[in-house]
């Protein structure tokens, strides 16, 4: 009886002649959003649903098969005798719970959204950690958009939680444009988002072609992206605008490298080398050895593409923010307490945070916004300001991670601030968050611990030491 009541409530409260077809026998047919979960897998799709309302099959539910909903792997027919139905009055959905040998425990949600097509979001770099943390954040949203992934590395892509996964050449490949536009024209996503500097730069160059497919972008101007992706250009702008940064030289020739050592070297003669373009500490090297530095740049074929800068401390902080047409929507600060696999690099830097901590500082807030406005008078999109403290304990901007979330975006989501959700809600629906604080809405001291092949952990320092045993 409870199952039949759930069906009655679902049909009664969602009935609309434009969305649900009722035949002469009372059977209901409609298109619905299907959210299917079993084990650690989630499938989001749209399919036709039929609910029988008469005879001995009263209450039977059949879902049409499609590319995502494959009858060979999933149950697509349900009856009140074997599954549990529940009606959710909050979002007017029908939930089916069941258990089988094939799937174990499974649950699916049937949801009608006023007859509107479920939005699609295409995430580039799927399978890689930065993009997957965005995808995981989006999969926790109540609007249940379809998340499609594309990537260039098959062994990464196959691990993605996206509902579909497209192989695409790297952005530097001449075929990238054609393949990207093919994917956009086949899937017709409502929004596409990129998470890699080089791909962001290329997508920005192609923005008119992308927009012509009907797909939305939410990113800054091309000039701003160029000035942020190239760290050397950022440094020049900040210096002109009076933003305190580490003294920096462009390295075009061995003579430039010698000058960098002469002018920038610390008490031990050390300078900091790094590539202008690329994340994850690409090409980063602290050294006081000119010959080694010369060979290092040779190795990366980096003459004209490297900078030399004065050495700062190991203390770093990131100010991640979302802006809309010049107005700040939200910002949250995170400081790094350690790097993953830092002992595998000469610099000790990998770009992959091992322990991150929520943090707040008025000084950081001010410097971060000054750094952003120096480069973009009307910020629009995602701006992640990386800062490193100098020997006087002043945070110096070192780069703006432009138009992308940092690697541990899922940290803030699990802590209660889903920034990818805020981003897509603005881009797709012009919906803005209601926050008590725009800047640092999360409490200080939350820790996000990450390791290889283990689930990350949201905790605090106090909780860690409560659990650990010390003899």
Q: Which H or E run contains 323?
A: strand 316-324
pLDDT of residue 423: 98
pTM of the model: 0.73
User: What is the number of H-type helices and E-type strands within the chain?
Assistant: 14, 23
Q: In what order do the strands lie in the sheet with 146-151?
A: 164-167, 146-151, 120-124, 191-193
Rounded CA-CA distance 396/412 in Å is 24
- Tokens 């107005």 belong to 327
Domain 120-217, CATH: 3.40.50.20
Rounded CA-CA distance 214/200 in Å is 18
The answer to whether the CB of 96 falls within 8 A of the CB of 35 is no
Q: What's the gap between Cα 463 and its chain centre? A: 28
Q: pLDDT tens across 336-357, in order?
A: 876 554 444 444 454 567 889 9
* 346 token code pair: 């000469």
Q: pLDDT tens across 218-237, in order?
A: 999 999 999 999 988 999 99
pLDDT of residue 304: 80
pLDDT of residue 343: 46
Residue ranges of domains in the chain? 2-111, 120-217, 225-230+313-467, 247-310
Burial class (CB in 10 A: 0-12, 13-18, 19+), 175: exposed
Rounded CA-CA distance 179/186 in Å is 11
Q: Reduced to 3 states, what is the DSSP secondary structure of residue 276?
A: coil
pLDDT of residue 338: 64
Q: In what order do the strands lie in the sheet with 316-324?
A: 395-402, 381-389, 316-324, 327-339, 353-359, 447-451, 454-459
- Averaged over successive runs of 10 residues, the pLDDT of the chain (471 residues) comes to 86 72 84 89 87 89 90 93 89 90 93 69 96 95 85 96 94 97 95 96 97 97 96 92 88 87 82 72 77 85 82 90 98 82 48 84 98 98 96 94 94 97 96 96 95 86 86 83
What is the CATH topology of the domain spanning 247-310? Dna Ligase; domain 1 (3.30.1490)
Give the Cβ contact number of residue 207 at 10 Å: 14
The answer to whether the CB of 314 falls within 8 A of the CB of 393 is no
pLDDT of residue 272: 81
DSSP class of residue 46 equals E
Buried b (16+ CB within 10 A) or exposed e, 223-234: ebbbbbbbbbbb
The answer to whether the CB of 94 falls within 8 A of the CB of 7 is yes
* 135 token code pair: 């995808």
Domain 225-230+313-467, CATH: 3.30.470.20
């Amino acid at each position: 009886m409870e199952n039949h009541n759930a069906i009655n409530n679902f049909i009664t409260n969602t009935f609309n002649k434009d969305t649900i077809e009722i035949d002469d026998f009372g059977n209901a047919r409609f298109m619905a959003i299907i959210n299917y979960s079993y084990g650690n897998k989630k499938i989001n799709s749209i399919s036709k649903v039929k609910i029988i309302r008469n005879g001995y099959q009263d209450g039977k539910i059949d879902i049409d098969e499609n590319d995502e909903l494959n009858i060979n792997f999933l149950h697509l027919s349900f009856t009140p005798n074997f599954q549990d139905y529940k009606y959710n009055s909050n979002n007017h959905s029908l939930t089916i719970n069941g258990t089988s040998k094939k799937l174990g425990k499974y649950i699916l949600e049937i949801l009608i959204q006023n007859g509107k097509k479920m939005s699609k979001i295409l995430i580039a770099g799927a399978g890689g950690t930065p993009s997957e943390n965005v995808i995981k954040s989006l999969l926790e949203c109540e609007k249940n958009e379809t998340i499609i992934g594309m990537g260039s590395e098959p062994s990464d892509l196959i691990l993605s939680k996206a509902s579909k996964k497209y192989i695409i050449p790297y952005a530097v490949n001449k075929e990238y444009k054609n393949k990207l536009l093919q994917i956009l024209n086949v899937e017709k996503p409502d929004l596409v988002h990129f998470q890699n500097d080089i791909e962001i730069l290329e997508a920005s160059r192609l923005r008119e072609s992308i927009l012509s497919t009907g797909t939305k972008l939410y990113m800054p101007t091309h000039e701003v992206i160029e000035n942020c992706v190239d760290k050397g250009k950022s440094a020049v702008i900040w210096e002109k605008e009076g933003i305190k940064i580490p003294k920096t030289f462009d390295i075009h020739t061995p003579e430039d490298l010698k000058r960098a050592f002469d002018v920038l070297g610390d008490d031990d003669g050390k300078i900091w080398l790094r590539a202008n373009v690329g994340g994850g500490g690409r090409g980063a090297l602290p050294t006081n050895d000119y010959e080694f530095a010369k060979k290092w740049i040779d190795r990366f074929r980096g003459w004209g593409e490297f900078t030399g800068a004065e050495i700062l401390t190991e203390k770093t902080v990131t100010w991640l923010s979302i802006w809309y047409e010049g107005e700040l929507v939200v910002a949250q600060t995170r400081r790094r307490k350690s790097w993953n696999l830092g002992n595998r690099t000469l610099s000790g830097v990998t770009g992959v945070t091992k322990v991150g901590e929520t943090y707040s500082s008025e000084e950081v807030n001010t410097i971060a916004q000054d750094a952003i406005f120096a480069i973009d008078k009307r910020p629009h999109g995602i701006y992640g300001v990386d800062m490193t403290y100098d020997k006087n304990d002043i945070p110096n901007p070192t780069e703006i991670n432009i138009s992308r979330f940092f690697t541990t975006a899922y940290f803030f989501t699990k802590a209660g601030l889903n920034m990818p959700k805020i981003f897509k809600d603005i881009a797709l629906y012009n919906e803005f968050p209601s926050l008590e604080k725009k800047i640092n809405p999360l409490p200080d001291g939350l820790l996000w611990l990450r390791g290889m092949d283990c689930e990350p952990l949201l905790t605090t320092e106090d909780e860690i030491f409560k659990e650990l045993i010390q003899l």
